[in-house]
Structure 1
Amino acid sequence: MDRLDAMRTFVAVVAEGSFTKAADRLSMSPQLVSKYVSQLEEHLGLRLLNRTTRRVHPTEAGSRYQARAMQLLEELDELENQLGDYRRSARGVLRISAPVSFGTSHLPGLLQAFQREHPAVGIDLRLDDSKVDIVEEGFDIALRIGKLKSSSLIAKPLAPIRIVTCAAPLYLKQQGTPKTLDDLKGHRYLRYSYMDNSDNEVHQALNVAATTTTGFTCNNGDVLLQAAIAGAGIIIQPTFIAGPAIANKQLKIILPAHEPEPLGLYAVYAHRKFLASKVRAFIDFAANFFAQPPSWEC
């Protein structure tokens, strides 16, 4: 027995005073209406209706059950209508995970523009360069940069990410401008720690050839950027970090022939089916927000 169906059927019988009229109202047979009511009475162990040839009347227990059942069904309908609002329109709190440097530099404008268009959506943004488990940690979306491996997650490409090798003009004047990978020997490498497993050939060559005693490792690209501008060494960074400094001639791109294939910025989420409107709205908005090429490209 489906208790909700039985409850709705019983409420309709009491309201109509007749199995036949309740059946018409519910678009089911009178036999099925009678069956539901009988199953409900058997389940409760109580007689809910007194039946006559012309009309049915609730017992004392039936009247009490009917009043409370109507309240519960109304509350359930209201809850489902509210949840329907989440499906039909973007609302609620959207939890987003994003890399620190990208989030700091390029998400404020995106999020402000998104909330102007979707004012019923709140934002809970967490910046972290480590790879979070979006399901385990309760995120709706993670923005990730790289070449994504196949997984059960869904990934929507948002923008290309160009990776460049660069250094300050003064550093290059003092230490020499590398023309080949072999020329990197003795140079100071400002190494991004999350590149340890990268197949970038400049990164690999610098790891081998750089003077490790004068190198510098950090897990934040903005810190490495400022060190490079100050003349501390060579960095390998995305243009969304290094682009403005390159445009202002604070940094100079080197070894362009060894520039790797661009990476991608992706919106990653757990499920395509029954996707909440707040998630769908953000993904669609973000996909159209970044120009091609992106505004940070130098």
Structure 2
Amino acid sequence: MDKIDAMHAFIAVVNEGSFTKAADKLNTSNQMVSKQVAQLESHLGARLFNRTTRKVHLTEAGQQCVPLALEILERLNDMEGSLGMLVDQAQGLLRISAPVSFATRYLTPLVREFKLQNPLVGIDIQVSDRKVDLVEEGYDLALRIGHLKDSSLVAKKIAPINLVMCASPSYLAKEGEPNHPNELNPKHYLRYSYMEHYASSTALMAALNKASKESGSIFSANIGDVLVDAAIAGDGYALQPTFMVAEAIKNGKLKVFLKDYQPQPLGLYVVYPHRKLLASKLRKFIDFINNYYGAPPIWDRFV
């Protein structure tokens, strides 16, 4: 039994004074209205109407039920109206988890423009390279970079993330520009701690994996910005995503080499828990970011 439909039928009979007129009001059959009222009576364990061939009279139990049913239906209408506003107009707080380096470079302008179009949406960005649990930690979505594995989450690819080998012009002038990964000096590898989890298996990655095992390697870090700064200073070479080194390449502080050995691109993904019945704030953010960075993305236009 649909209790809401049954209460609508009950109130319609009360207002119209007969099952037939109630059926006309609800655009249904007399039999359906009778069935719904009978089911409500059975569920409540009380007769709501005394029926005669000509008239319908409320019982004492029926009279007590009228204000209660009206209040329930009124509150339901209020709830539907409130939710309708949420569906039609983006509002509420949107909680986002994002990688540190990407967020500091490319997320702020996006959020600013999104807020201009959706002023009722609040934004809470938590930056971390940790893989957060969206459901357990109460996030609406996360931005993630890599090759995503199968999961219960929905993932939408927003843009490619290319990885490039780069070093300062002064380093390459001093050490020579390698033409093959085997010519790399393992002691000068500025290693990102988690790169092996992201990059595809190539000749370049094989050489870098070998280099990472060399005890004489300069250093490694779990934040790429440290390595980019070291590469700009001439301390060695690094494999980094273009969104992190584009500005330095544009300004001549870094130079890309070994282009023929680049790993397969990673992806920038929006990850969220559900595909159906998305809140308007989330749906509009996904639509907005989907086309924001362009093709090719803005960080690849100087590389």
TM-score using structure 2 length? 0.87
How far apart in 2 are the matches of 1:186 and 1:43?
78
Match of 2:204 among 198, 202, 205: 202
Residue 239 (structure 1) aligned with residue 265 (structure 2): no
Once the two structures are overlaid, the 10-residue window that deviates more, 225-234 or 37-46, is: 37-46
1:54-100, CA deviations, whole angstroms, 9 ceiling, x for partnerless residues?
43232343222111110111111221232233333333322322211
Note if 1:261 corresponds to 2:235: no
CA displacement 1:274-297 (0-9 Å, x = unmatched): 333322212221122112222222
Does structure 2 retain, via aligned residues, the 8 Å contact 1:187–1:234? no
Shift of 1:183: 1.9
Matched with 1:84 is: 84
DSSP 3-state at the match of 1:244: helix
Structure 1 CA distance, aligned partners of 2:179 and 2:37? 87
Could you report, residue by residue, the CA deviation over 1:159-189 in whole angstroms, capped at 9, with x for unpaired residues? 2222111122333344443332222134321
Deviation at residue 102 of structure 1 after TM alignment? 0.5
- How many residues align structurally? 298
Q: Establish whether residue 216 from structure 1 lines up as the match of residue 230 from structure 2.
A: no
- The answer as to whether partners of 2:166 and 2:255 remain within 8 angstroms in 1 is yes
179-188 or 231-240, which moves further after superposition?
179-188
Match of 2:120 in 1: 120
Q: Which residue of 1 aligns with 2:42?
A: 42
Equivalents in 2 of 1:158, 1:31: separation in Å? 54
Note the C-alpha offset of 1:53. 4.5
Structure 1: any 5+ residue segments left out of the alignment?
none
Quickly say closer, same or farther: Cα 1:187–1:202, change in 2 above 3 A. Answer: farther
Contact (CA 8 Å) 1:143, 1:265: kept in 2 or not?
yes
Residue deviations 1:216-266, cap 9 Å, x none? 111111122112222222111011101111111222222222222332222
User: In the alignment, does 2:11 pair up with 1:8?
Assistant: no
Q: CA RMSD in A?
A: 2.4
Structure 1 runs (4+) deviating above 6 angstroms are: none
In structure 1, how many angstroms separate the alpha carbons of the residues matched to 2:280 and 2:110?
Answer: 18
- Aligned-partner Cα distance in 2 for 1:205–1:233: 15
Q: 1:186 to 1:236 in 2, by over 3 A?
A: closer
Deviates more, 1:260-269 or 1:2-11: 260-269
**Distance change in 2, residues 1:10/1:183 (3 Å):** same
Counterpart CA distance in 2 for 1:294 and 1:40 is 60
Is residue 292 of structure 1 aligned with residue 298 of structure 2?
no
Which deviates further from its counterpart, 235-244 or 150-159?
150-159
Q: How do 1:184-195 residues align onto structure 2 when only pairs under 5 Å count?
A: 184-195=184-195
TM-score (norm 1): 0.89
Secondary structure, counterpart of 1:213 in structure 2:
coil
Residue identity over aligned pairs, in percent, reads: 54
